[in-house]
Amino acid sequence: MNKKVVFTGIDYFRIIAAFLIIAIHTSPLTTYSGTADFILTRIIGRTAVPFFFMTSGFFLISEYNYNSDKLKTFIKRTTIIYCIAIVLYIPINIYNGYFTMDHLLLNIIKDIVFDGTLYHLWYLPAAIMGVAIASLLVKKIGLKWAFAATAFLYVIGLLGDSYFGFIEQVPFLKNVYSNLFELSDYTRNGVFFAPIFFVLGGLIASKKFCTSLRKNLIGLTVAFFLMLGEGMLLSNINVQRHDSMYIMLIPCMFFLFTSLTFWKGLRTSASLLRTSTLIIYVIHPMMIIAVRMTAKVLGLQTLLIDNSIFHYLAVSASSVAVSFIILVLRKHIKKKSKQVCLSGTDRSWIEVDLDNLRHNASILQKAMPIGCELMAVVKANSYGHGATSVPKFLNRIGVNAFAVATIDEGIELRKGDLQGEILIMGYTDPVRAKEIQKYDLTQTLIDYNYAVILNKQGYSIKVHIKIDTGMHRLGFNKNDVAKVVEVFQARNLKICGIYTHLCVSDSLADEDINFTCKQIAAFYELLEAISGKNIKLPKIHIQSSYGLLNYPELECDYVRVGISLYGVLSSPEDKTKLQLDLRPVLSLKSQVVLIRKVIKGESVGYGRKFIAEKDSQIAILPIGYADGLPRNLSNNTGSVLIHGYRVPIIGRICMDQLAIDITDIPEVHIGDTVTLIGKDGQAEIYAAEVAGNTHSITNEIFSRMGGRLKFVTGFTQTHL
């Protein structure tokens, strides 16, 4: 089983928080007990919004995950959602008389910036402003001082919220807050309330304050009862102007959120949970109106309005139902848009089956020793399967370690919001050390001199040490124990891993097995020598795809899975000890753009390499060697599938086009799909077959596919 940092507890608490927010706006217990309802909605319910702020801070602005591009994306997306929500509620605002002469210009601007144009929408501008303030402070003064600064802002807000009754007795302070309330009706906003929770989430992500779940739960229990007492006391002495901000809310949220981080596991529906809770939050006031109107029309006021608990349940159920409908429609629209995109493709495309990718990842993980983690090799545009779409999907299903060849590949993934470790396996110019640190990448040390130069750049960066055990490509010499030990003492290099590469692990020939065993032995001898110098070993990894398939008994911290993750072997002749049920992820397709008759004796293509032996029909496909299709598939060496039939490629493959013989295939029309790699009906052309026909390997075939090909990424037909 893999050791994955997947925070299931955080994901599932989103639903609880969403229902707490509905409770705040429906007061479900008022029919039975005003005190109980106050406790639920004005004390317990006050954890919901801070939780959402902390979740964003946890994943956006910790010292390890801080990324200005991700923050800009968060602000942009939240702004778009806010604009949509404002437009969505315009009819209700008109019905409520919002747009009056007393409520124009300045007041509307104030509401948009701080309070929201409807009572629940304040959360969105607060999120935008809060994350901006929090991230700016973290960037300028660091997390600890940012927490102090936002705590000061929180105290200012606290005095204008639950503790307002005390400062009303001080004329000067009362005047100050009166001026504040001219700008915003509440201090519960993006300036005084939200920033501290974004920073607190970042602090929890950056440092383990308490490694014991039991201690956190005890802390949560104590903090909660203290907050309960605080809220009840302030309510009884009637000093609350509003009731969103408590002193004990901070420690309560700290212990609650930290406790949730202990619940980890596979997260296959996190995106769905995020989307559904957001929809529930945005539309639940509309459902309140809908439930009330329905109750009046059906004469059910006593049941659905007067009874607060049934009112709450009806609003919650309808919100969930509408959320489900929107998610289904969203999925349907995405499917349709992909179909439209595909039908509008004027050249050729790659189809990526995410179901098969998920299946392969699961099968490979099960084949690994307990405690070993899958490191997905996603260099060269994920072996031609998509530079960011494949890694992001793997990230969503729980893969948290990735390997690339270059720093620019790593930066592209980080800018695409990829979480987890990203190991650069190739050379990076030491002058780019600042970028390695900025984007939280991990650099391979290719030899001792390189390590020295990288260390001198003055940036603290994470590294893995590469050991050359016989491949004689990159890495420290296997006998350079002293130099490896010296690198462990480097001030600016944080050694997170050490690894080697097996150069003939794909072969089961006796001499190759002997060589591989010598490589493995040399690597472990080096590790033993390092350990003998009182150095704690970092994470180790030896196996790539064939290393796992032929030497599955090796116990390491990572397996660098490349070609097998994409469901194929490098060559059709390859034999492996493990026979896993791997499924091809990639299909290469094109379409017929022209059909023409060729008379017996006429030629087709450059060099007149095809001469028709009879009257024939040929089809032209808009794909060529500039798209990565090997030119030596020309002249009947390669074939394609159309309508389930296999037909030959004729003549020479051009840079942008090729021709196929469709003489014996019925009912072929312009626009028909042609499969060059993949399945059509019962027939299939495997990537390894294409590689074998060109005396190459699938790794090369995949990685050379040109940038002109479009990607259609989705699931198998049975899952659409």
> Which residues are tagged catalytic?
379, 606
Residue 151's Cβ-count burial label (10 Å; 0-12, 13-18, 19+) is middle
In DSSP terms, 660 is beta-bridged to 619, 649
Tell me the residue type at 337.
S
What tokens appear for 144 in the block? Answer: 């600890």
CB-count burial class (<10 Å; 0-12, 13-18, 19+) for 667: exposed
Q: Determine whether 669 is exposed, middle or buried from the number of CB atoms within 10 Å of its CB (0-12, 13-18, 19+).
A: exposed
Annotate 534-600 with DSSP letters as a single string: T----EEE---HHHHHH-TT---SEEEE-GGGGT--SSTT---SS-------EEEEEE--EEEEE-T
Alpha-helix residue ranges (DSSP H) falling in 160-241: 164-167, 171-183, 194-206, 213-236
Whole-Å CA distances, 385 to 6, 580, 587, 702: 24, 21, 9, 8
**Measured between alpha carbons, how far is 81 from 124 in angstroms, rounded to an integer?**
8
Q: What sign for the dihedral angle of Cα 113, 252, 396, 426?
A: positive
In this structure, how many other beta carbons lie within 10 angstroms of the beta carbon of residue 581? 8
- What span, in angstroms and rounded, lies between the C-alpha atoms of 547 and 576? 10
Is the distance from CB of 591 to CB of 674 less than 8 angstroms?
Answer: yes
CB-based contact 660:674 (threshold 8 Å):
yes
Rg (CA), the chain: 31
Q: How far apart are CA 608 and CA 80, in angstroms?
A: 57
Cβ atoms 87, 69 nearer than 8 A? no
C-beta atoms surrounding 137 within 10 Å? 22
Closest CA to 646 of 629, 662, 632, 627: 662
Query: 3-class SS at 671?
Result: coil
What are the backbone angles phi and psi of residue 588, rounded to the nearest 5°? -110, 125
